[in-house]
Amino acid sequence: DYPTIRALSDYIAGQLVPDETAAARAGARLELPDAPARLSILGAACTLPGDNQSLLALSFTLSRGLDGISEVPFARWDMEDYFNAEAPTGLEMYVRHAGFIEGVELFDAGQFGIGRAEAEAMDPQQRHLLETALGAFADAGFQKAEMLGRHGGAFVGQDKCDW
C-alpha cells in the first residue's frame, strides 16, 4: 500500500497527527543555513557482527552478500542451557544463531586509565563504546595525547542493550 518512503512516512504522519497538520508537514522541506566551512567529518569507526571492524570491511561484506550471523559463541553462554526449539517460555532461546561482535573481552583498560576492578565492573557496552570512539579519532589521524585541550566534538552511538 505504501510503495515509497514518502508514501509510508505520509501514512505514519497521518496516524500520529491531525490530517491538516500531516498534509502541511508532508510538503514541508527542512531548510538548513549554509554550514560553516570548518565543519567536517574526519574519522569514523564501527564494530559490527561478522568481524566488520571498519566501514571498509562492512562495505566488503555487504557488496559480496555476506552476513554477520553466526552460532552463539560459547564464550557468551552455553547454548545448551537455554536452547528450546519447541516452545520458549521466556528464558529459553529457539534459535542458535545471531549477530555477535568479536573481541568484547579484549578491552585494554590501561589505555583509558581505568583500573582492573573498575573495568571488570563496567558493562561490556561501555568498554566497546570507548574503544570504538577512540578508533574514530585514530581514523581521523589523531593520537590521544594531541586531542587534549582541543576544541571539537564526536557523535557516538550504541545499539542494543545487551551484549
Q: Where are the alpha helices (DSSP H) in 17-143?
A: 19-26, 55-63, 116-121, 124-139
Mean per-residue pLDDT of the chain: 79
- Which DSSP helix (H) or strand (E) runs through 71? strand 69-71
| pTM (whole model) above 0.75 | no
- SS3 of residue 55 by DSSP: helix
Amino acid at 145: A
Per-residue pLDDT band for 103 (boundaries 50, 70, 90) equals confident
- Which DSSP helix (H) or strand (E) runs through 97? strand 97-99
Do residues 134 and 111 touch, judged by C-beta distance below 8 A?
Answer: yes
Residue 117: per-residue pLDDT: 93
pLDDT digits (tens, 9 = 90+) for 138-159: 888 888 788 788 777 778 887 7
